[in-house]
Structure 1
Amino acid sequence: MTKKLELTLACGNYDILRPLIDGTISPDGIELNILTGSDSATRHWRFLRNREYDVAECSASTYIIARDQGLPFRALPVFPHRRFRHGFAYINVNKGIKKPTDLIGKKVGVKFYQVTAILWLRGMLEHEYGVPHNSIEWYAELDEDMPFTPPPGLKFTKLPDDKSVEKMLAEGELDAVLHPDIIDPIVDGDPRVGLLFQDPKAEEKAYFKRTGIFPIMHVLGIKEEIVEKYPWVVPNLYKAFDDAKAMTMKRLRNPRIVPLAWYQEAWDEQAALLGPDPWEYGLTPQNRNNFETLVGYSHEQGLISRKIPLEELFLEVSQGRKRGRFRT
């Protein structure tokens, strides 16, 4: 019996990856040990800091920083997680913040400064709403994924362990918080906390119409030594992830499987605005614009030393023009 290459993959437990996770689809020649138990922040740390996994769903922002710092990681243009971010800017409602420019000069908390969601939000606030990132006092709760020295001119404070940005926001110690998740005060209905954008969906739709960007959050990282020793792994992994996505999207097209009354309408609304495959993989023109924008934000905000070309960030996954789909 032919022995397959055994690799450990850490990723989120998403429907878009379900055929890989349950073994319906497997990459040719590879036996994946798939781990889904870690939250995103923990998974990224354990991959980039501790090198615990062979392959991992990884923060796009911190992967860019890791490449800039010369760490031995590469990535495939597989994007398991995307999310619009206007709905994740929170304010203390008693601070007189009515519009984005009211954040200028304010104290704004983040879980940690490098996280992709916050990089997108800082860039959007600066370029779409006129809020320079260095006009804000930043307060970070967690250690950064990558070693971080605040660039000159950045007002940055690392909070002590007994401080939480969510609690500080509710109690008025912070004016606003940018966060990758829905924060507890919102879930609990705390009247002291609200949204910066009162209709985030409308803002997000308008943003997409202006930019064509459905923000990429995560990439598929892989240890560099695996790529060097087994270069065939790269296209085989990419094809498996792409096939899993295609299978999932075909399955989800059936409204019977989702217990939502207006699921069909939501699907049609997404397709009408974002196109037939808003979760597309590969360095398509739309994805290039998406990721080049993120790289630009990272450089502008002092997280990386240069604007890194996408060809240095992503591995080549092509099997040749019009190849890869022939009958065997």
Structure 2
Amino acid sequence: MAPLRLSLACWDYDRVKAIEDGRVRPEGIELTFLNLRVEETFFRQLRYKEFDISELSLSSYVLTLNDPEPPFIALPVFPSRMFRHQSIYVNLKAGIHSPSDLAGRRVGTPEFQMTAPVWQRGILEDEYGLNYDSPQYFTGNVEPSTTERTEKVPLQLAETVKIQPIPKGKCLAQMLADGEIDALESATAPSTFGTHPDVGRLFPNAKEVEQDYFKRTGIFPIMHVIAVKRSVLRENPWVARSLTKAFASSLEYAYEAIHARGALRYILPWMQFHVEETQAALCSEGNDKWWQDGLTPQNIRTLDKFLEYSFKQGLAKKKWEVKELFAPGSLDAFVL
């Protein structure tokens, strides 16, 4: 039987590179790999549903579950994870010395529903007592753009949330430098960080703060999932297991590459020491892999916390259970 032809839109991360270049081929599937940056993938998939399979923002994916007939279902594959204390920026003249000082302040965020700010608001509330609805939020482009940035998914937020778009022609990076906003919660660093003397991090020692956060909570925030059109799985339910196994194999190639020592695979001269430091900070005894897919206890804890934040912040219509997010056929792909 001829293989099933499917399209996959995803950035070419090291953990999916073996799928892109063909070293790993999902059984029974002929994939067309579309190497797209995440913003383009998210916009095209959420707006037009162009791809059979795609990387998706965890937050946006969870919001699609609010639909009467959700268009996608996820695999327990997490192509993007990132600690987010490091990407909260402040105007250094605004008198913000601790997270609690953000109460009542003007905080920029590209989109309220973006995964990174959902994590940031939740962490600031859990860890520092800053109610998620206490700042005044301003949404829009981080950098100058000819198009206005709007929420990719319609929102119905609580009346206590104070939120408004920034004026046309403005961008959050420059507004932060000019003192028009006091802080920025984002996924990307604003161009004014490192180039303008008044822009710095809320947590200057972010690395130490993030390592302490992980040590206490066991949470390595998940940013993105791989999502499949439900229409594809209705006709071919086996696809979920095949794809999940392929992503697991591709992840092993990524580990193999960073452990290579005969010559440097990447332009990082102290890669070995960085790997050792990461293992020491994030790995438990007997486990040398800090980036894992599937519903491991750590991943369940991480996803459950995000689902708590999404519901509490008025985004998800209910507090979803972790297993409700994923295609059943994908959950047994890790059972050998």
Given the two structures, how large is their TM-score scaled by the length of structure 2?
A: 0.92
Q: Cα RMSD between the aligned structures?
A: 1.4
Q: Residues 175, 320 of structure 1: CA spacing in aligned structure 2 closer, same or farther, 3 A cutoff?
A: closer
Aligned counterpart, 2:182: 175
Q: Say yes or no: does 1:289 pair with 2:287.
A: no
Matches within 5 A, 1:56-95: 56-70=54-68, 71-95=70-94
Gaps in structure 1 of 5+ consecutive residues: 324-328
Residue 97 (structure 1) aligns with: 96
Which residue, 197, 214, 217 being the options, matches 1:191? 197
Letter aligned with residue 248 of structure 1: A
Match in the other structure for 1:156: 163
* In the alignment, structure 1 residue 55 sits paired with structure 2 residue 53: yes
**Counterpart selection for 1:267 from 260, 275, 278:** 275
How many pairs align? 320
Residue 61 to residue 95, structure 1, CA distance change in 2 (3 Å): same
| 1:315 and 2:313 are equivalent in the alignment | no
Alignment of 1:241-252 (within 5 A): 241-252=247-258
2:114 and 2:335 mapped to 1: Cα distance?
Answer: 37
- CA gap of 1:160–1:229, structure 2 versus 1, over 3 A, is farther
Structure 1: distance between partners of 2:104 and 2:331: 47
Q: Which amino acid aligns with 1:267?
A: V
Residue deviations 1:29-70, cap 9 Å, x none? 111111113x31221121122101110010001101111233
Output the CA distance in 2 between the equivalents of 1:152 and 1:253.
Answer: 51
| Deviations 1:224-243, CA, capped at 9 Å, x for gaps | 01111100100000000000
Q: Is the 8 A contact 1:101 1:130 kept in 2?
A: yes
Determine if the alignment matches structure 1 residue 235 to structure 2 residue 236: no
Q: Give the letter for the 2:323 counterpart.
A: E
Contact 1:150–1:156, Cα closer than 8 Å, also in 2: no
Provide the identity percentage: 38
Q: Per-residue CA shift, 1:1-43, capped at 9, x if unaligned?
A: x421111100012111110111111101111111113x31221
| 1:321–1:58 Cα change, 3 Å | closer
Displacement of 1:269 in angstroms is 1.0
Change over 3 Å in CA distance of 1:200–1:322 after alignment to 2: closer
**TM-superposed deviation, 1:318:** 4.4
Other-structure match for 1:21: 20
Deviation readout 1:163-201 (Å, 9 max, x if unpaired): 2111111111100001101210114x2101111001000
Unpaired stretches in structure 2, ≥5 consecutive residues: 141-148
CA positional deviation for 1:259? 3.3
Partner of 1:301: 313
Q: 1:221 to 1:318 in 2, by over 3 A?
A: closer
Q: Kindly provide the CA deviation profile for residues 114-147 of structure 1, in whole angstroms up to 9, marking residues without a partner as x.
A: 1101110000001011111111000111211211
Q: Which runs of 4+ in 1 moved over 3 A?
A: 318-323
